[in-house]
Amino acid sequence: MKDSVAIPPVADKIPTELEQHGDVRIDNYFWMRLSDEQKNAKKKDAQTVKVLNYLNAENSYYEEVTAHTDDFQTTLFEEMKSRIKEDDESVPYKKNGYFYSTRYEAGQQYPIYTRKKGSLEAEEHILFNVNDEADGHDYFQLGGLNVSPNNKLVAFAVDTVSRRQYVLQIKNLETGKTYDDVITNTTGGSVWANDNQTLFYTKKDPVTLRSTQVYKHVLGTDVSEDVLVFHEKDETFATSVSKTKSQKYIVIASYSTLSTEYQVLDAGHPNGEFKVIQQRERDLEYSIAHYKDSFYILTNKDGAKNFKLMQTSIHKTNKENWRDVIAHREETLLEDISIFKDYLVLEERTNGLAKIRIKRWDNTEDDYLPFDEETYTASVYANPDFDTDILRYSYNSMTTPRSVIDFNMKDKSKELKKEQEVLGGKFDKNNYTSKRVWAEARDGKKVAISLVYRKDTELNEETPLLLYAYGSYGYTISDGFSTTRLSLLDRGFVFALAHVRGSEYLGRQWYEDGKLLHKKNTFTDFLDCSMYLIKNKYTSAGHLYAM
């Protein structure tokens, strides 16, 4: 760091009393809060000018005290960019007779969405070139692409403000015409009924941005005639609409932190009534998948903290009729399921590591995909086809770039469809090593730390080490590959990822032990991992950095 005579700006302290539930707190910086009207006004009022002046002063101070790093920042940026393949393309996936893919072209900022009919050798049809769509906009986000069952229409959503309030529209894929149907303030998601005319979508509360209402729109009718199908009035819940993989049911989900509720409607009868699978109950979480004459239910029912899989008839769906398919296990978190015609695929996590389990419906086979590295990430990829023996999954580790693999569940063969290219000519995975160690927390719990570094990096008190963690909402940070991280590793850093409580790395209890009145564990775990790394000479207090 360079010594600087720059004087940092100091924000004024203007006490503001805020009272809620009889509790008064003082916010000295409430004056910085600007309304949307103030931000967007052409003529700025005095408060807005004061806020902007302060922010500009902060930026100026930053630029002055970091000016000596400008050249190094440029070097890093160009180095990181040089590893990225700009003209890249996703692995095509097949859905309803078409192969879909997304590609990027060199020098272009946005993706191009394409499809081919019948085979990969067929003529390419561009659904959207987002580079063209984004022209003239400071910000542009295209999402929610949803092709109708007859393959002739696509619903799509656009956000040009960066507030995730999407405008939903419909395009004719045969003529290229975009219809006049324009639906504002949506989540971006939508679902076609099987009549190719009715579109279900979700709208947001314009103030809180909570998804609260599900509507249905008929192609060609005025948006003012759209029918409100469901209104989620409980402000602790949000709602969404989707379709089962079988294409048989439209599904409305209501979800909160500790409770879920699902409603279904035959996709062939869009004017029918939705039927609730199981009424919401506090602490009862479940999700559904359809197969033949049953719903398969991933749930924590009966105290199944790590979740289990249950099954019920499509005609009797309340929880009294649910029956175990995969029992609850104390040591294994059941994260997700995928249903195929002949196979049930389970995504599990045991001792922190992801597992992919393939089970035939006739119970003649029940196996796990083999993974060899000590720490890695594996997950089921896009598998929209129902009647197939091919399971597509992704795999990567801290030393292995991301790959997409097709596994034949029938003959057990596998095909590497794509491995992430690391350009620049300097990357060799054999130059790096990764491993997992376990630190003892102050209450005796063992906390995993995943490490990656160059093999020629000496580990001692002089070694710089960056320790990262995220421990909230049950979200588990995977031990994945990063091209930008190579710029650290190649300069002698160790990168460490602490799997602290608050995630679900060691199951649902690991999350429960890092929230609410146990939230302190998230932070003490991080500190205890730091002490472990220092004690075991991976680094020292003077060279340990936290993120």
Q: How many CA atoms lie within 13 A of 393 on its CB side?
A: 26
- Where does a domain end: 420, 440, 467? 420
Of 519, 536, 529, which is closest to residue 499 (Cα–Cα)?
Answer: 529
Q: How many CA atoms lie within 13 A of 427 on its CB side?
A: 22
Q: Where residue 539 sits, what CATH number does that domain have?
A: 3.40.50.1820
With beta carbons less than 8 A apart as the criterion, state whether 400 and 376 touch: yes
- The reply to whether 337 and 239 lie within a common domain is no
Structural domain total, the chain: 4
Residue 346 within any structural domain of the chain: yes
User: How does pLDDT run along the chain (547 residues), one tens digit per residue?
Assistant: 455 588 999 999 999 999 999 999 999 999 999 998 898 899 999 999 999 999 999 999 999 999 999 999 999 999 999 999 999 999 999 999 999 999 999 999 999 999 999 999 999 999 999 999 999 999 999 999 999 999 999 999 999 999 899 999 999 999 999 999 999 999 999 999 999 999 999 999 998 999 999 999 999 999 999 999 999 999 999 999 999 999 999 999 999 999 999 999 999 999 999 999 999 999 999 999 999 999 999 999 999 999 999 999 999 999 999 999 999 999 999 999 999 999 999 999 999 999 999 999 999 999 999 998 999 999 999 888 899 999 999 999 999 999 999 999 999 999 999 999 999 888 999 999 999 999 999 999 999 999 999 999 999 999 999 999 999 999 999 999 999 999 999 999 999 999 999 999 999 999 999 999 999 999 999 999 999 999 999 999 999 999 9
Predicted pLDDT of residue 3: 58
Find where tokens 């031990």 sit: 479
- The reply to whether 148 and 241 lie within a common domain is yes
Predicted pLDDT of residue 466: 98
DSSP characters over 166-227: EEEEEEETTT-PBPS--EEEEEEEEEE-TTSSEEEEEEE-TTT--EEEEEEEETTS-GGG-E
pTM for this structure? 0.90
DSSP characters over 416-463: EEEE----SS---GGGEEEEEEEEEPTTS-EEEEEEEEETT---STT-
What phi, psi does 269 have (nearest 5°)?
Answer: -135, 75
- Helix (H) and strand (E) counts in the chain: 7, 34
- Where does a domain end: 273, 304, 325? 325
CA quadruple 275, 333, 435, 526: dihedral sign: positive
CA quadruple 40, 45, 49, 50: dihedral sign: negative
- The runs of H, that is alpha helices, within 9-107 are 36-40, 46-65, 70-82
Tokens representing 281 are: 């109950």
Strand partners, 507: none
- The reply to whether 111 and 187 lie within a common domain is yes
- The reply to whether 238 and 183 lie within a common domain is yes
Residue 1 within any structural domain of the chain: no
Distance of CA 157 to the CA centre of its chain: 18
Residue 293 within any structural domain of the chain: yes
Tokens representing 505 are: 């790395």
- The reply to whether 239 and 340 lie within a common domain is no
Residue 218 within any structural domain of the chain: yes
Predicted pLDDT of residue 4: 56
What residue type is assigned to position 413 of the chain?
S
Tokens representing 233 are: 């009035």
Longest dimension (CA), the chain: 75
Residue 407 within any structural domain of the chain: yes
CA pair distance 546, 526, nearest whole angstrom? 9
Predicted pLDDT of residue 406: 97
What residue type is assigned to position 108 of the chain?
Q
* CA 193 vs CA 226, 485, 512: distances in Å: 15, 45, 39
- Phi-psi category of residue 233: left, alpha or beta, with phi > 0 → left and psi -120 to 50 → alpha: alpha
- The reply to whether 433 and 416 lie within a common domain is no
Predicted pLDDT of residue 519: 98
CA pair distance 425, 400, nearest whole angstrom? 16
Residue 71 within any structural domain of the chain: no
- The reply to whether 308 and 341 lie within a common domain is no
Give the list of residues 6+ apart from residue 140 with CB closer than 8 angstroms, or none: 110, 130, 133, 134, 158, 159, 160
Predicted pLDDT of residue 36: 82
Q: Where residue 269 sits, what CATH number does that domain have?
A: 2.130.10.120
- The reply to whether 308 and 218 lie within a common domain is yes
- Where does a domain end: 264, 294, 325? 325
- The reply to whether 61 and 197 lie within a common domain is no
- The reply to whether 182 and 266 lie within a common domain is yes
Domain that holds residue 468: 429-546
Predicted pLDDT of residue 33: 95
Residue 265 within any structural domain of the chain: yes
CA pair distance 105, 77, nearest whole angstrom? 20
DSSP characters over 324-343: EEE--BTTEEEEEEEE-SSE
Give per-residue pLDDT as tens, 436-488.
999 999 999 999 999 999 999 999 999 999 999 999 999 999 999 999 999 99
Tokens representing 190 are: 């939508």
- The reply to whether 413 and 446 lie within a common domain is no
- The reply to whether 450 and 503 lie within a common domain is yes
Residue 2 within any structural domain of the chain: no
